[in-house]
Amino acid sequence: MKTFGDRLKEVRKNRGIKQKELAKMIGVANSTISNWENNTNQPDIDTIKLLCDALGITPSDLIGDYTLNDMINFASMDNNALSNEERLALQFGDDFANEVMKFFEDKFSFDEGQLQTIRLSLVLAGVIDSDIIKILFDAMKLNDRGFNRLRDYLNELLMLPLYTENIEKGDKL
């Protein structure tokens, strides 16, 4: 199984970027990139986001692909029994969920049960589905007008009966 360092090195080389260049792009020392690639240590979650932006990739490209069952198993295990990559995946999923929940809490009203379900979904999606990560981070960059439009579109889309029932010829949407 590839490590975080293996993935980082592979992506960096495929992009034709030298360690020194990547270090400058994200504001760290050259030796820091080398240490990550040699699995001496790993970056924090904020630095992973900087790496992803600099390299044009998603966090799952660096952390690895995990299934829903993997994440549930990791969460139930003792932290010392997890590999560095598994701990990083859980930490990223948790931090991702916290960041998104903080942003959206003021914009929508949810009861406690809904919040717990959404948070768990975000933890899992943050590691598993790179498309969801990109969509949510892009949504978090919207100004108020853009966010209100997004909310309107989501509310319309969530009228599931309209989009899941067979529509007869001649029916108007």
| Closest by Cα among 43, 37, 92 to 64 | 92
High-pLDDT (> 90) share of the chain, % = 24
Is 96 or 159 the better-scoring residue by pLDDT?
96
Tokens 């990560």 -> residue = 133
Task: Find the farthest-apart pair of alpha carbons in the chain and give their distance in angstroms, rounded.
Answer: 66
pLDDT, residue 19, reads: 96
Give the burial class of 56: count Cβ atoms within 10 A of its Cβ; 0-12 exposed, 13-18 middle, 19 or more buried: exposed
- At 33, list the tokens: 């990139």
CA–CA dist 7, 22 (Å, integer): 14
**Residue 138 binned pLDDT confidence (cut-offs 50, 70, 90):** confident
Q: pTM of the entire structure?
A: 0.62
